[in-house]
Amino acid sequence: MEQLRDIIAQLREHCPWTAELTHQALTPYLLEEAQEVAAEIEAGIVGEPLRKELGDILLQVVLHAAISQERGEFDLDGVAEAICAKLIRRNPHVFEPNGTLNPKESTVEEIDAAWDRIKAQEKAELD
């Protein structure tokens, strides 16, 4: 990951095309890459081809994080921190609110219902 961050930083500094990228300019590429991953999975193509396609999505995430870091908004570590916090919040059958592991027996239905309930609560708090 550190090498990827460094490569993106160098491209943002020394490649005019990459330096001009914005969130808006990257959006079509992000969608295209996500569709390519979905198409491969649906076609049963996994292994090395999937690894490469996932790398293309990771590139999009790192580019968006780099742009945001340049704007003083957040960085890649902040992106990882946000998803870690979300996973802990939305999986109370595995984690305590502080992130301590505490697995509890739950059915898939209970897990799905809890995920949806917590997601709805998060959305309500933002509104």
Query: For the whole model, what pTM was predicted?
Result: 0.88
Looking at the chain, the number of H-run helices and the number of E-run strands are 6, 0
What's residue 127's pLDDT?
87
What are the backbone angles phi and psi of residue 95, rounded to the nearest 5°? -125, 150
pLDDT at position 15: 97
> Which stretches does DSSP call E strand in the chain?
none
pLDDT of 78 reads 97
Q: Which domains does the chain have, with CATH numbers?
A: 2-74 (1.10.287.1080), 82-126 (no CATH)
Residue from 93, 100, 98, 101 nearest 118 by CA = 93
What's CA 30's distance to the chain center, in Å? 11
73 to 29, 34, 78, 79, 105: CA distances (angstroms): 22, 24, 9, 11, 39
Q: What is the pLDDT of residues 30-76, one digit of tens each?
A: 999 999 999 999 999 999 999 999 999 999 999 999 999 999 999 99
